């Protein structure tokens, strides 16, 4: 982004959108919303929070509705059934109105307070800032089990070979975009489930956007729905699909 278009986190005219994908999150969505909304108020941001309900079978939507009554910053979007995390993030981002767009996991594995680090990277000129668990691994307050760490390292190596992505961590669910970058990338996104993160970063590279990888605090949360074997095979297939989409011309050029 040219210098005269840089965003600054000190500019009170900026607006922020925080997208939270949610599937069967009744056990923790209330606490997460309390924390996010309180931090927005503390920072004095002009911000909206969009919870995207991915066809939850519990009372996630009802809990969010209760918060809607007293929090005008909050919006609830409903997916047409269970479509996947990638679909949920894209749905939220395409409905977001902020100058800076952030998506965060519903469990706040990276605390919302870490958003300042991503926003600072954007203020310094990045088009996209991604949270990383591995740039400074000592920031992890609770690490994943060893088998998940091994799966992550193998997947990261395959991404480097297949898609040319050189990041330490593509899968951290904590990423921020300028509006310009978001409006270019999310309409082009095609992966709807767990493999969407590499696709976003591949599109960023393809469209010429600058990406800053930023070390953030992070803690493993129990209850994750990723199966290393089943979803690992699926994510590998999605990685190959990204490569095929690129080779077959299915990714349109970014708008200017």
Domain of 123 in residue numbering reads as 9-144+168-223
In a domain, 216, yes or no: yes
Along the 256 residues of the chain, how does pLDDT read in single tens digits? 344 445 554 545 899 999 999 999 999 999 999 999 999 999 999 999 999 999 999 999 999 999 999 999 999 999 999 999 999 999 999 999 999 999 999 999 999 999 999 999 999 999 999 999 877 666 666 666 676 666 767 777 888 788 989 999 998 999 999 999 999 999 999 999 878 999 999 999 999 999 999 999 988 666 565 666 666 678 788 989 999 999 999 887 655 5
Is 234 part of a structural domain of the chain?
no
Angle at 34 between CA 30 and CA 39, to 5 degrees: 150
Integer Cα distance of 99 and 223 in angstroms:
33
Token reading at 153: 């390292």
59 found inside a domain: yes
Question: Is 100 strand, coil or helix?
Answer: strand
- Does any domain span residue 176? yes
Residue 79 belongs to a domain: yes
Nearest to 133 by CA among 213, 64, 62, 187: 213
pTM tops 0.85, yes or no: yes
159 is written with which tokens? 């991404």
CATH number at residue 32: 3.90.550.10
Residue 91 forms part of a structural domain: yes
Whether 70 is covered by a domain: the verdict is yes
**Domains in the chain: how many in total?**
1
Q: For the chain, what's the residue count?
A: 256
In a domain, 3, yes or no: no
pLDDT (tens digit, 9 = 90+) per residue, 193-215? Answer: 878 999 999 999 999 999 999 99
Tokens of 92: 């939220």
């Amino acid at each position: 982004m040219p210098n005269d278009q840089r965003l600054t986190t000190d500019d009170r005219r900026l607006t922020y959108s925080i997208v939270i994908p949610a599937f069967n999150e009744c056990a923790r969505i209330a606490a997460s919303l309390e924390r996010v909304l309180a931090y927005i108020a503390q920072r004095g941001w002009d911000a909206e929070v969009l919870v995207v309900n991915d066809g939850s079978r519990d009372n996630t939507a009802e809990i969010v509705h209760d918060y809607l009554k007293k929090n005008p910053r909050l919006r609830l979007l409903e997916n047409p059934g269970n479509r996947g995390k990638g679909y949920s993030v894209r749905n939220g981002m395409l409905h977001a109105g902020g100058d800076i767009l952030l998506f965060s996991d519903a469990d706040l594995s990276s605390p919302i307070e870490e958003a300042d680090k991503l926003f600072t990277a954007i203020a310094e000129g990045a088009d996209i800032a991604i949270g990383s668990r591995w740039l400074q691994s000592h920031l992890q307050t609770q690490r994943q089990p060893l088998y998940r760490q091994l799966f992550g390292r193998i997947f990261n190596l395959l991404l480097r070979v297949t898609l040319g992505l050189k990041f330490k961590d593509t899968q951290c669910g904590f990423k921020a975009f300028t509006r310009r970058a978001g409006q270019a990338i999310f309409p082009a996104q095609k992966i709807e489930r767990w493999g969407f993160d590499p696709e976003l970063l591949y599109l960023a590279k393809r469209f010429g956007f600058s990406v800053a990888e930023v070390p953030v605090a992070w803690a493993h949360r129990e209850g994750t729905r990723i199966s290393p074997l089943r979803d690992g095979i699926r994510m590998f297939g999605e990685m190959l699909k990204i490569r095929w989409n690129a080779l077959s011309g299915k990714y349109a050029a970014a708008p200017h």
